[in-house]
Structure 1
Amino acid sequence: MTTASPKIRFVMIGGFLGAGKTTTIGRLAKTYQDRGLKVGVVTNDQAADLVDTNLLRSQGLQVGEVAGACFCCNFNELTSTVDKLSASDRPDVVIAEPVGSCTDLVATVVQPLLRLFDAQFDVAPYGVILKPSHGLRILRKESGTGFSPKAAYIFEKQLEEADFLIINRIDELDADKIEELDGLLKEFAPNTPVLRQSAKTGEGFEALVDMLDQRGAFGQKILELDYDVYAEGEAELGWLNSSMKVTATAPFALDKMLLGIVEGLREELATAKAETAHLKTIGLWEGAYGVANLVSSDTPAVMSLPSNCETKEAEVVVNARVAIDPQILQTQVEKIVHAVAAQHGLQIEFHQTQSFRPGRPVPTHRFAEPHA
């Protein structure tokens, strides 16, 4: 008699672009590994060449990527990617990172897993990370949030469908801001638990792990969603993924180059009055990697993961999600990359660049009623 394999624990962490999902997932994966569990990760993007995939793989994680559409619109690719992870080294836990501009994930991902793949997956509570920089402006109902009401609609719907909410980056926030965010979330979603954490330092992380370990009636919040507004909100963002090789005759500081690209784009986009949802770049060479990012127009560019590396060459990936025409965004990225290269005496060889607006979401499955 053959014993059935135990179910894979499926953990999905959502949140708006730049909320800190990747950092959270990296720390969460390490936490599970420290328990002796095998962990797989599935990243998701509208296009290939994803910084997050490169970063998580550089941390030694087994990572599959679903590119070309969100999980909801490419559900079969999500499950087949998990199968490929299982074929090589079956994970005990799979952590999934959805596209940061997606919502309706309970109806289109969680519910299909519960109904159609119950024998394979044990689905954890669905957590959504609040992005403080945009969250404060949107939840305060401030005018001039940087995004139109249609894009803010997506942000709010993400919060609405969560089993629990996470205030991230508490290491960067003063106590008054944390309390204000907590109060705004409890007013917006009074029956939804709110956690506080720093994915960077690990503060508050035990509460996240405890929440994800819970079993019960989770993944039941089916949204009433206007797909026209949703599609128009997503389409306001210019999307760019670009990969390149950087070479030089003398060693250069990888971190300085990466931060220069992000800071140069911050200034360029500020001049164009274009709101940044998320901008990040990674440089990789011979086991070293560094990441620089920008999470909103009113925050500084930061070296979030320094490599402390000098090298004569590196593979570089740039991801940008900005409220601007994608062709203009591509022109700006290429301009700044070449300017930074000239400043540091570097040669740039672009591999590929994809710039576009996301298309209308068309889910593979959508269940309008929760599974009993």
Structure 2
Amino acid sequence: MKQTKIILLGGFLGAGKTTTMIKSAIHLESRGFKVALVTNDQSDELIDTQLAKDNGLNTEEITGGCFCCKFDELYEVLNNIISTKQPDIIITEAVGSCTDLAATVIQPLKQYYNAEFIISPLTIVLDPNRIINELNVEEGVNFSKTVNYIFEKQIAEADLIVLNKIDQFTKSKLEQVTTFLNERFPDTEVKIISAKHNLNIEDLANHWLKIDDGGHRILDIDYDIYAQGEAELAWLNILGDLEKNEGLINPQLWTDTFISKIDAHFQKEKMAIAHLKTYLGKGQSYVKTSLVQTGMIPETSIENFTESTDFRVVINIRCESNPNLLKLIVNDALAYTNKTLGTALTITYEQCFSPLPPKPVHRLATN
């Protein structure tokens, strides 16, 4: 039986896991490998899945919980992909608020399905800004201690730390962050990349290809603290159709207006954004914008920019908040944006909640 290489990406919300996954898959396919992707989230209507498909990649998704809590579904999805697509490599992206992946995902795959899969090193993708603000390299806006507990455990269980978005930082700042990581996690290799700009993606892919083992760092996890940290995060997803009766919609202007308004609310309420994503699409064109920290400048990706009388809209927000408050803030920002620009958004799907306590199907030590 042919074994399929599984690459598991973890890391906190907003680290750039999806971009890392997509750019790595494109690179590996350019070298002749057949690659498939599996996205994962607590809820439905994911921008991540849409972006992967927009890039022409074979993509499946698991929603409604992390891989660890939906392990049987994960195995079924992997099996289906293998039987229908026969990939050489499957890159999987775990929920950004999930940790304990070594014990609850990798070890069960290795111990129960060793004949079917080759497991690459557990790779945790990090945003340097999150390190700077959350691990006190510098003072900054911090999440609560329980949310930060998840973040620190993610890094601690990594076989490989991938420091992303290096294009946004000076050499001295990157040296400061990598020195901090090397001192804090001295036995873990650190690689630096910019997934957005394809910097060092080949080096990352080579590392995955040459190492066929991972997931040996089984941590002591306090599941009460873990559950509390997840419960302090609110998740909101909206799917809808944006229209304008007179004139054309500029998707960049609409996005900028909405994010500026909502970020002003978050700054006023001192709410920490984990990740805010918006996607406005029309045919083969889209504007995708991402804000990963309160008060920061958003990042935007544009494909075949066009103005139109209508767009499909997807909004994904994860932040430290009460879900009811988050919903009120989003509704206010949408009303302001639509009134200012003369648009109307018809929402066809909306969900706002805090995740349930994690209950993994398996939790195994190493062989």
TM-score (norm 2): 0.96
- Which residue does 2:3 correspond to in 1? 7
- Which residue does 1:311 correspond to in 2? 308
C-alpha spacing 1:196/1:101, structure 2 compared with 1 (3 Å) = same
- Which residue does 1:41 correspond to in 2? 37
Partners of 2:270 and 2:135 lie apart in 1 by 22
* 1:276 matches 2:273: yes
CA contact (8 A) 2:39 2:61 kept: yes
CA contact (8 A) 1:26 1:56 kept: yes
Show CA shifts across 1:313-334 (max 9, x none). Answer: 1111111111111111112112
Which residues of 2 match residues 1-372 of structure 1 at below 5 A?
4=1, 6-140=2-136, 145-249=141-245, 250-305=247-302, 307-367=304-364, 369-371=365-367
Partners of 2:255 and 2:73 lie apart in 1 by 32
Amino acid at match of 1:243: L
CA contact (8 A) 2:119 2:213 kept: no
Partners of 1:206 and 1:224 lie apart in 2 by 34
Show CA shifts across 1:332-366 (max 9, x none). Answer: 11221222122222121101111111110000111
Q: Report which stretch shifted further, 81-90 or 146-155.
A: 81-90
Can you give the 5+ residue segments of structure 2 that lack an aligned partner in the other structure? none
Partners of 1:281 and 1:137 lie apart in 2 by 24
Residue 263 of structure 1, CA deviation = 2.1
Partners of 1:217 and 1:289 lie apart in 2 by 38
User: Does the residue aligned with 2:48 lie in a helix, a strand or coil?
Assistant: helix
User: Does the residue aligned with 2:355 lie in a helix, a strand or coil?
Assistant: coil
User: Does the residue aligned with 1:243 lie in a helix, a strand or coil?
Assistant: strand
Partners of 2:212 and 2:61 lie apart in 1 by 29
User: Does the residue aligned with 2:309 lie in a helix, a strand or coil?
Assistant: strand
User: Does the residue aligned with 1:359 lie in a helix, a strand or coil?
Assistant: coil
Residue 28 of structure 1, CA deviation = 0.4
C-alpha spacing 1:185/1:305, structure 2 compared with 1 (3 Å) = farther
Partners of 2:302 and 2:79 lie apart in 1 by 31
C-alpha spacing 1:298/1:345, structure 2 compared with 1 (3 Å) = closer
C-alpha spacing 1:307/1:293, structure 2 compared with 1 (3 Å) = farther
Partners of 1:142 and 1:173 lie apart in 2 by 14
User: Does the residue aligned with 1:337 lie in a helix, a strand or coil?
Assistant: helix
CA contact (8 A) 1:39 1:94 kept: yes
| Identity across matched positions, percent | 35
Q: Report which stretch shifted further, 244-253 or 7-16.
A: 244-253
User: Does the residue aligned with 1:292 lie in a helix, a strand or coil?
Assistant: strand
Residue 148 of structure 1, CA deviation = 1.0
CA contact (8 A) 2:132 2:140 kept: no
Partners of 2:113 and 2:287 lie apart in 1 by 38
Show CA shifts across 1:194-214 (max 9, x none). Answer: 101111111122221121112
C-alpha spacing 1:92/1:284, structure 2 compared with 1 (3 Å) = same
CA contact (8 A) 2:126 2:163 kept: yes
- Number of residue pairs aligned between Structure 1 and Structure 2: 366
User: Does the residue aligned with 1:330 lie in a helix, a strand or coil?
Assistant: helix
CA contact (8 A) 2:157 2:218 kept: yes
Partners of 1:108 and 1:24 lie apart in 2 by 23
